[in-house]
Structure formats: C-alpha cells, structure tokens
Amino acid sequence: MAVQGEGIVAREVRGAVAPEPLVIDEPGPGEVLVRVQASGVCHTDLHIRNGAIASLPMLLGHEGAGIVEAVGPGVVQPRVGDYVILAWRAPCGTCRFCRIGQLHLCAASLNGQPRQHTPAGEFPPPIMGLGTFATHTVVHANQAVPVSPDIPPAQACLIACGVMTGVGAALYTAGVRPGSSVAVFGAGAVGTSVIQGARLARASKIIAVDLAPQKLAWARTFGATHTVNPAEGDPVEQIRALTDGYGVNYAFECVGHPAVLEQVLACRDLAGVATLIGVAGHGSTLALDLSRFFDLGGSLRVSWYGDCLPTRDFPLLVEWYLRGELLLDELITRRIALAEVEDAFQAMERGETLRSVIGF
C-alpha cells in the first residue's frame, strides 16, 4: 500500500524550500521502502537548490539513515526492520569498471525507480537516487546498508555522504601516509572528515584552512594540529611557513571553488598529491601553469564519495565511531525538523554549521 508522507522539493533556483505532501508507492522488484529517521543537510543539496549543478525540480536529501519498512519482490537483504544507512553508490557488478574490480568507479550504480510523488502525480527526481529530505524513500536494496543499531540515527546518517567522502578521500583517494603533512581547505563536514581520515592515517601535521574562525576552532577537535585563515594572509605562504618552507604532502579542496583549487595545487611539496572533493558550479575553469605543475610533480585526483564501497565501509565507520575513534556527535551542530531545512541552508551559507541534521 502507498504511504502518505511529506518531503522537500527544490523547485526554483534559490527559492525558499518547505515540506509538501508526498505519496510514496510500494517498493518494486529489488527495492526497499525505508522510513527515514535522520538526514544530514549536505552542501550538495544547497548547490542543487541554488541551481549550480543540476536542473530543477529535484527532491532533496542524500545523507540518510532509517528503518526498512517493506521489501519488494526478490529482496533477500536487507529485511523488514533492519536499520540501514543509505548509499548513493551501489555497484552493479557488471559495468566496465566493476568487471575489472574497480567497483568504487561503478558507472551504472543501482537505484530504485522513482516512487516518491506528489498527490498530483509529479515525480521530482530524487537527488543521487535517494531523496532523504522526506519521511520515506524507496531505494534499490543494495543502497540500504545494514549497520549496528548501537549508533543513533543522527550520527549514522552523517556516514551516508559527508563523513564517508572525507574519510575515504584521505584513506583511499589520496592514501595519506603515517608521518606525512596534510592541508585541508574548507573545514565543513567534508573537510573535518578529511581531517579525521588524516588523523586515523597517523599524519603528523594536519593544517585546517577556513575563513570562519569557528570552523578552525572546531577543526582542532577533529584532529587539526594547525589552522590557517586566508583572511589573515596568503594561505599558501602560511602553509609554507608551517612546513619548513616546503609545503604539504597532501592537500584537499573541500570548498568547490577554482581559486581554492589553485591554492591546493600551489601549497604542495614536491610530488604532493592534490585531491578535489568540492563541487564547483557549471562553467568553473582553472588556469594551470603547466611548467610549474610539471616541476612540482605529484598528482591531482578527484574523489567521488571518497572512493568508498558502502557495504565494506559503512559498518567499518560505525565500528570506529562506537570505539570512540571517529567523532560524529561533534559534527551535529543543529538538530532540526523538516520544516527548518531552509533555515539550515541559510545557516550553511553563513558558515555557521558543520551539519544540521533533520530528525523525523
């Protein structure tokens, strides 16, 4: 039977969002219906609402955790009642990347059919095939990863996007090595998670770079050993001053701005690895001094979702949280209701929050 619920659809570029009634149809073959218990507000939702990266309308929310309430025909796992974190990557196992063992690059990631619709029968596409700014969603069974019920929903949902992306970018994309030096530009939820990944990898120097003094103070909680505020002078020079004039082994862009990527490339030591995580708007370009790029060596990598495999990594990150090694409580700066997402977007634009988490 269809479920009556509500959700948030971005309809106009920069237009204020508010909950509206939604009908959620039964799961089809291979799909599961999830009652969303918590959803984090990621900057990618805001980019979409602001019209920077995709066309509207779109049903927002892609950082969710909840309970499986119904399963469609043929679903063996998860089961009704399972507590799950929702993934926007569910490798198909058969595409050209999966076939050569690169499941983290899957080019045909599994999604459910759109089943959340307005009472009038409009199906706004759910962002990343999830649509978790809603009381319920229907996803492919492989997108719903069972985890220990010992982690509360508000913490669990953070693993679904921002935390997994940041930790994975440090551990998998860049492969931060023990004793190395790291600079992280943008100390929001993604950036502080890169900082945690670097801490878990036993980096020696972890430099957080952000314009907001409060973000720099929070970054220290997550493992930053030094902080740099670009408002106080060229961040590249400040990073050099902290690294005997050399620059860092690993630098991360967690903002989504070409000028920041230039700084990320420039603050590296010889053979340094730059990792782009931030999502820049359409039409953003980068001017690259090729001779300097060559002389410095190293590489520029792009990290999609921290190169994670959700079925391997979600339970692992939950385990680290339960052992006290991965901080998640400290990321929740606001607990909000669905009706407060617009306020959360505005607070994010003002740089006031790490994560606002919607509780249902």
Judged by beta carbon, residue 175 or residue 230, the one nearer ligand NAD is 230
Pattern of binders to ligand NAD over 187-206, x per CB under 6 A? xxxxx---------------
Any contact of residue 212 with ligand NAD (CB under 6 A)?
yes
Q: Which of 90, 147, 160, 209 binds ligand NAD (CB under 6 A)?
A: 209
205 beta partners: 181
- Cα(248)–Cα(271) distance, rounded to whole angstroms? 10
Question: In 3D, which of 76, 77, 82, 48 has the Cα closest to residue 62?
Answer: 48
Residue selected from 268, 278, 300, 338 as contacting ligand NAD according to rule CB under 6 A: 278
Give me the residue whose beta carbon is nearest to ligand NAD. 188
- Specify the residue for token string 């359409």: 282
Quote the CA–CA distance of 173 and 157 in Å, as a whole number: 22
> E strands, 133-204, where?
136-140, 144-146, 181-185
Question: Among ligand NAD, Zn ion, none, what binds residue 210 when CB lies within 5 to 8 Å by partner kind?
Answer: ligand NAD
Residues with Cβ within 8 Å of residue 265, at least 6 apart in sequence: 251, 274, 288, 293, 296, 300
Whose CB is nearest to Zn ion? 42
Nearest to 155 by CA among 329, 324, 310, 323: 329
* 161 near ligand NAD, judged by CB under 6 A: yes
Give percent helix, percent strand, percent coil of the chain, each to the nearest 5: 35, 25, 40
**Residue 172 DSSP symbol:** I
Q: How many CB atoms lie within 10 A of CB 106?
A: 19
Nearer to Zn ion, 193 or 243 (CB): 193
Smaller CB separation from ligand NAD, 298 or 351? 351
Shortest Å distance, C-beta 310 to ligand NAD: 13
In angstroms, give the least distance from the CB of 280 to ligand NAD: 7
Residues 22, 42, 171, 198: which binds ligand NAD (CB under 6 A)? 42
Candidates 111, 132, 137, 165: give the one binding ligand NAD (CB under 6 A).
165
Residues belonging to the chain: 360
User: Quick check: 265 binds ligand NAD (CB under 6 A)?
Assistant: no
Please say which residue, 165 or 227, places its beta carbon nearer to Zn ion: 165
Can you give the binding site for ligand NAD, defined by CB under 6 A? Answer: 42-44, 47, 161-162, 165, 185-191, 209-212, 215, 230, 254-257, 260, 277-279, 303-305, 348, 351
